[in-house]
């Protein structure tokens, strides 16, 4: 479990790296969940950046994942780690996200553009966490990068992940400011990243500015992100119904709980019975 000092670092800096947090058995359970997602794409599955070398595949918020991810929450320490991170007992699982990046032998897969997760989500609060798991060893230069403390600063418009310009806004309504071009002026920002080994966890607040380094020629990067919320989470205003648009899950048995929870209205407690309570 995390110490009070690690919890303080998370609150202030927005990210912690936990080396060797998962046993081999726990790592296998998370890998089985990742493999299930790859084999069972949901309506949000996409090759994110078309027209670029290699494979850049992603999927997220598949409503069918909850039962297939149950072992992650019943048989690993991840829920307890998140609870100790917040220093609060209650933890709900919000959704999963998987990425599979496969570079060709001659060309890299381009980096994941700088962005924040929160503009895409109808939720806000301090008790939020993204648990990021990489299944291959990564040097810091190959890993996820973060702007330290950015979760307590400006919430920007989302990126459309347009290869012509990473800062093209998701909404473009003017209600959220446009993303800065962090990659063009890296020295203006306090950026951190970590060497990781399989079994490590990187946990960050979804309001953090972050981006992924390129996947080098001949390499594979497969990662699983697990997103959680706690007792202080409330429904947030966003310029559009992003999760409904991304996952195309409006009605019927495939409605994701995020779609239903946000209908309680801005500022309401973010809850819905469809979210598994995991701690």
Mean pLDDT of 138-155: 96
Specify if 273 maps to a domain: no
Specify if 199 maps to a domain: yes
pLDDT at residue 246 is higher than 80:
no
Taking Cα atoms as reference points, which of 116, 97, 28 lies closest to residue 57? 97
pLDDT at 125: 97
Specify if 50 maps to a domain: yes
pLDDT at 165: 94
Specify if 130 maps to a domain: yes
- Strand order across the 191-193 sheet: 112-115, 210-212, 144-147, 191-193
Mean pLDDT of the chain: 90
pLDDT at 247: 45
- The structural domain count of the chain equals 1
pTM of the model: 0.93
pLDDT at residue 99 is higher than 60:
yes
Higher local confidence (pLDDT), 123 or 250: 123
pLDDT at 241: 58
pLDDT at residue 157 is higher than 70:
yes
Q: What digits encode the pLDDT tens for the residues 29-88?
A: 999 999 999 999 988 788 765 555 567 788 999 989 999 999 999 999 999 999 999 999
Contacts of residue 242, defined as CB under 8 A and 6 or more positions apart, other chains included, come to 119, 120, 121, 122, 158, 170
pLDDT at residue 156 is higher than 50:
yes
pLDDT at 248: 47
Exposed e or buried b for every residue in 208-246, given b needs 16+ CB within 10 A?
A: bbbbbbbbeeebebbbbbbbbbbbebbbbebbeebbbee
Specify if 276 maps to a domain: no
pLDDT at 161: 87
Specify if 279 maps to a domain: no
Assign residue 50 the CATH number of its domain.
2.60.120.620
Domain that holds residue 152: 4-264
Specify if 260 maps to a domain: yes
pLDDT at residue 147 is higher than 60:
yes
Pair 141, 193: CB distance under 8 Å: yes
pLDDT at 69: 98
Cα distance between residue 96 and residue 63, in whole Å = 9
pLDDT at 102: 86
pLDDT at residue 250 is higher than 70:
no
pLDDT at 53: 55
Specify if 274 maps to a domain: no
- In whole angstroms, how far apart are CA 201 and each of 34, 72, 180, 228? 15, 14, 28, 14
């Amino acid at each position: 479990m995390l110490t009070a000092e690690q919890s303080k670092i998370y609150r202030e800096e927005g990210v912690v790296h936990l080396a060797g947090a998962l046993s081999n058995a726990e790592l296998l359970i998370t890998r089985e969940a990742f493999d299930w997602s790859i084999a069972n794409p949901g309506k949000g599955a996409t090759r994110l950046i078309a027209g670029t070398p290699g494979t850049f595949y992603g999927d997220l918020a598949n409503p069918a994942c909850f039962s297939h991810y149950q072992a992650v929450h019943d048989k690993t320490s991840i829920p307890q780690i998140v609870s100790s991170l917040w220093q609060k007992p209650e933890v709900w699982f919000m959704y999963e996200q998987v990425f599979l990046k496969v570079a060709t032998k001659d060309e890299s897969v381009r980096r994941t553009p700088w962005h924040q997760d929160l503009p895409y989500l109808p939720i806000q609060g301090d008790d939020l966490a993204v648990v990021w798991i990489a299944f291959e060893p990564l040097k810091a230069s190959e890993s996820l990068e973060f702007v330290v403390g950015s979760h307590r600063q400006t919430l920007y418009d989302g990126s459309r992940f347009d290869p012509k310009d990473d800062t093209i806004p998701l909404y473009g309504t003017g209600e959220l400011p446009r993303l800065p071009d962090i990659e063009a002026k890296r020295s203006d920002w306090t950026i951190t990243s970590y060497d990781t080994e399989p079994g490590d966890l990187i946990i960050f607040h979804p309001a953090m500015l972050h981006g992924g380094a390129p996947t080098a020629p001949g390499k594979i990067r497969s990662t699983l992100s697990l997103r959680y919320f706690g007792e202080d989470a409330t429904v947030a205003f966003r310029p559009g119904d992003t999760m409904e648009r991304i996952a195309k899950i409006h009605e019927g048995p495939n409605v994701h709980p995020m779609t239903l929870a946000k209908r309680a209205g801005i500022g309401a407690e973010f809850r819905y019975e469809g979210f598994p309570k995991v701690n």
